[in-house]
């Protein structure tokens, strides 16, 4: 795959436009289908050399066409092959009809398929053209195959998965391997889609990269390529103030641990200095637990205003364990014109009165990153959360636009979006990263990056990636504390 396309995510609608562009630039569309189908047959033969029979399930569109090409290629390889179709194969049109004609096998109705030991299913029912929930009889076939444990190789997407959202439309195959074409789609990386694709192979079927780049939006998988230019600019040898001074705001006596985690990881993640701002009742407990992190008494808004006179303090984390209410709102509004990570209680405090926050963020010109999990997102952006048509990427982007902040919508498929519509989907987080305090650690890494002068979007994307890597390095028994010890280098 050309390097340029490595991390790009292309929506099904963009892919359809790319197909049209390819055809109008003179590329033979049937040759694309032939490449698509033969890359699927090659994958099936490579991955399942001991298959007793390949069962190709073909749908009513071009995904089915790819299936007929694959079936013919498998027959040619000497394998035992059966074809089952959904819909009348005589109704196929264009390239798909041509592919059907080039396949010598006579399809049976898909509802007649009964899984047999030794079968490998090639799922070519629907790909990019899935437009609605699957009909009941097809759902039953899919569930039968899933229950049988027979391996499935999916063409483009496991049928039933929506390529734009990753949602299941009634039922979907759970594939062992998916072969998609030219670029991954959002449905391959968003949940639950990602968990149903098996290993993902992106096959080059010969569409020029320039046609893909011309149509693709600003959507990518989150890899270091998304932010490494900004990371490389950070010079670890610079004076400690030049690596930034991060302020983390602690909650009261009974809830100090969360902010201390953010502060501790802030140093690990590269902030030159980190100061924990503590209310008087929590000073003693914080002091007892800190070494390299500094401590400062901040009782109220006027203390904060006095502290903010130190312009070297260039980024803040507000929210972990802070407490919900007016104090959090007042503090957040004061910090909006510096780089700020608004997390947890910091966000929830604005379940009412968010308009003032969003306005301040817009006016502030600072870099503000908000890091909601799903529940916090519903509280802060109820109208966006309730819009069932939107994918997780589209939700994060809509919230970013509304709030003028960079949004980190957390989960196993964390999405980072900025107000301009740029978005990345993270895919390196192990499941055990969902542990108590994990979000506090993430907020601290984002804060450290902001303190080092990274722009908000890159700061957030890099933090989510490092957090995921730390989870992998810390292993299954990871706790928030051990994550701190496993943060990988930034560059």
Ligand X SMILES: NC(=O)C1=CN([C@@H]2O[C@H](COP(=O)(O)OP(=O)(O)OC[C@H]3O[C@@H](n4cnc5c(N)ncnc54)[C@H](OP(=O)(O)O)[C@@H]3O)[C@@H](O)[C@H]2O)[C@H](O)CC1
Give the footprint of ligand X on this chain (CB under 6 A).
Answer: 15, 19, 32-33, 36, 59-66, 126-135, 155-156, 181, 207
For residue 36, the partner it binds in ligand X, K ion, none, with Cβ less than 5 to 8 A by kind, is ligand X
Owner of token pair 């998916």: 178
- Interacting span for K ion (CB under 5 A) from 46-54, 146-154, 325-333, 401-409: 146-154
Q: How far is CA 81 from each of CA 47, 238, 344, rounded to the nearest angstrom?
A: 16, 65, 55
- The whole-angstrom separation of Cα 111 and Cα 113 is 6
63 appears as a binding residue in the annotation: yes
Count of Cβ atoms closer than 10 Å to residue 205 Cβ: 21
- 164-183: burial string, b at 16+ Cβ within 10 Å, e else: bbbbbbebbbbbbbbbbbbb
For residue 323, the partner it binds in K ion, ligand X, none, with Cβ less than 5 to 8 A by kind, is none
CB closer to ligand X, 160 vs 257: 160
Phi, psi for 453 (deg, rounded to 5): 95, 10
Query: Residue 41 Cβ, how far from ligand X at the closest point, in Å?
Result: 13
- 86-145: contacts with K ion (CB under 5 A): 123, 127
64 appears as a binding residue in the annotation: yes
- The whole-angstrom separation of Cα 150 and Cα 119 is 6
- The whole-angstrom separation of Cα 485 and Cα 482 is 5
For residue 33, the partner it binds in K ion, ligand X, none, with Cβ less than 5 to 8 A by kind, is ligand X
CB closer to ligand X, 152 vs 463: 152
For residue 61, the partner it binds in ligand X, K ion, none, with Cβ less than 5 to 8 A by kind, is ligand X
222 appears as a binding residue in the annotation: no
123 appears as a binding residue in the annotation: yes
- Interacting span for K ion (CB under 5 A) from 155-163, 215-223, 252-260, 381-389: 155-163
Q: Which residues partner with 220 through β-bridges? A: 8, 424
Query: Residue 130 Cβ, how far from ligand X at the closest point, in Å?
Result: 5
156 appears as a binding residue in the annotation: yes
For residue 206, whether the previous peptide bond is cis, meaning omega lies within 30 degrees of 0, is no
- 28-87: contacts with K ion (CB under 5 A): none
Decide if 338 contacts 315 (C-beta within 8 A): yes
- The whole-angstrom separation of Cα 57 and Cα 460 is 42
37 appears as a binding residue in the annotation: no
Chain CA centroid to CA 118, Å: 35
Query: Residue 429 Cβ, how far from ligand X at the closest point, in Å?
Result: 28
For residue 60, the partner it binds in ligand X, K ion, none, with Cβ less than 5 to 8 A by kind, is ligand X
For residue 159, state whether it binds K ion (rule: CB under 5 A): yes
485 appears as a binding residue in the annotation: no
Dig out the tokens for 126 from the structure: 């629907």
154 appears as a binding residue in the annotation: no
- The whole-angstrom separation of Cα 215 and Cα 193 is 23
- The number of residues that bind K ion (CB under 5 A) is 5
DSSP state of 421: S
Owner of token pair 């902030």: 271
129 appears as a binding residue in the annotation: yes
Nearest to 448 by CA among 467, 474, 429: 467
Query: Residue 5 Cβ, how far from ligand X at the closest point, in Å?
Result: 13
- The whole-angstrom separation of Cα 451 and Cα 266 is 9
Q: Which residues contact 410 (CB under 8 A, 6 or more apart)?
A: 371, 372, 373, 374, 439, 442
For residue 21, the partner it binds in ligand X, K ion, none, with Cβ less than 5 to 8 A by kind, is none
Query: Residue 83 Cβ, how far from ligand X at the closest point, in Å?
Result: 15
Question: In terms of DSSP H, where are the helices of 336-455?
Answer: 344-348, 354-364, 374-380, 382-385, 392-403, 438-451
For residue 181, the partner it binds in K ion, ligand X, none, with Cβ less than 5 to 8 A by kind, is ligand X
CB closer to ligand X, 31 vs 363: 31
Query: Residue 355 Cβ, how far from K ion at the closest point, in Å?
Result: 45
Nearest to 125 by CA among 112, 139, 114, 115: 139
For residue 123, the partner it binds in ligand X, K ion, none, with Cβ less than 5 to 8 A by kind, is K ion
- Interacting span for K ion (CB under 5 A) from 2-10, 158-166, 267-275, 278-286: 158-166
Decide if 223 contacts 7 (C-beta within 8 A): yes
Considering only 155, 313, 399, 409, the residue that binds K ion (CB under 5 A) is: 155
Binding-site annotation, residues for (6S)-NADPHX: 62-66, 127-133, 156, 258, 321, 373, 440
Binding-site annotation, residues for K(+): 63, 123, 159
Residues found near K ion in the complex (CB under 5 A) = 123, 127, 154-155, 159
Binding-site annotation, residues: 62-66, 123, 127-133, 156, 159, 258, 321, 373, 410-414, 439-440
């Amino acid at each position: 795959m050309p390097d340029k396309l490595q991390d790009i995510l292309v929506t099904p609608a963009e892919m359809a436009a790319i197909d049209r562009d390819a055809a109008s630039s003179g590329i033979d569309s049937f040759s694309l289908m032939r490449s698509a189908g033969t890359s699927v047959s090659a994958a099936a033969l490579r991955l399942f050399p001991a298959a007793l029979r390949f069962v190709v399930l073909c749908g009513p569109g071009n995904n089915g066409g790819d299936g007929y090409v694959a079936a013919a290629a498998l027959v040619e390889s000497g394998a035992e092959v059966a074809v089952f179709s959904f819909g009348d194969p005589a109704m196929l049109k264009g390239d798909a009809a041509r592919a059907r004609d080039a396949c010598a096998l006579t399809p049976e109705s898909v509802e007649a398929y009964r899984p047999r030991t030794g079968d490998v299913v090639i799922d070519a029912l629907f790909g990019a053209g899935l437009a609605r929930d699957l009909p009941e009889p097809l759902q039953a076939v899919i569930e039968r195959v899933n229950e049988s444990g027979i391996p499935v190789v999916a063409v483009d997407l496991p049928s039933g998965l929506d390529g734009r959202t990753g949602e299941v439309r009634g039922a979907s195959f759970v594939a062992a391997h998916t072969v998609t074409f030219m670029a991954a789609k959002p449905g391959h990386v968003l949940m639950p889609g990602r968990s149903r694709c098996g290993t993902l192979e992106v096959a080059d079927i010969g569409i020029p990269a320039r046609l893909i780049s011309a149509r693709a939006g600003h959507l990518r998988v989150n890899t270091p390529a998304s932010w490494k230019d900004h990371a490389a600019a950070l010079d670890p040898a610079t004076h400690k103030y030049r690596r930034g001074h991060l302020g983390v705001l602690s909650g009261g006596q009974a809830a100090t641990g969360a902010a201390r985690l953010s502060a501790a990881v802030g140093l690990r993640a590269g902030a030159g200095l980190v100061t924990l701002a503590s209310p008087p009742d929590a000073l003693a407990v914080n002091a007892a637990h800190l070494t390299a992190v500094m401590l400062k008494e901040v009782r109220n808004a006027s203390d904060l205003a006095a502290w903010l006179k130190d312009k070297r303090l260039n980024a803040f984390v507000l929210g972990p364990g802070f407490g919900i209410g007016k104090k959090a709102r007042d503090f957040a509004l004061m910090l909006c014109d510096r780089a700020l990570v608004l997390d947890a209680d910091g966000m929830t405090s604005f379940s009412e009165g968010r308009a003032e926050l969003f306005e301040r963020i817009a006016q502030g010109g600072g870099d503000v990153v908000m890091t909601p999990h799903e529940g916090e997102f519903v509280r802060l952006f109820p109208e966006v959360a309730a819009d069932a048509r939107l994918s997780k990427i589209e939700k994060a982007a809509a919230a970013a636009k509304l709030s003028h902040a960079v949004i980190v919508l957390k989960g196993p498929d964390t999405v980072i979006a900025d107000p301009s519509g740029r978005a990345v989907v993270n895919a390196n987080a192990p499941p055990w990263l969902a542990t108590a305090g994990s979000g506090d650690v993430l907020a601290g890494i984002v804060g450290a990056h902001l303190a080092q002068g990274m722009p908000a979007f890159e700061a957030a994307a890099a933090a989510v990636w490092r957090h995921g890597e730390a989870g992998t390095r810390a292993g299954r028994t990871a706790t928030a504390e051990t994550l701190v010890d496993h943060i990988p280098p930034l560059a």
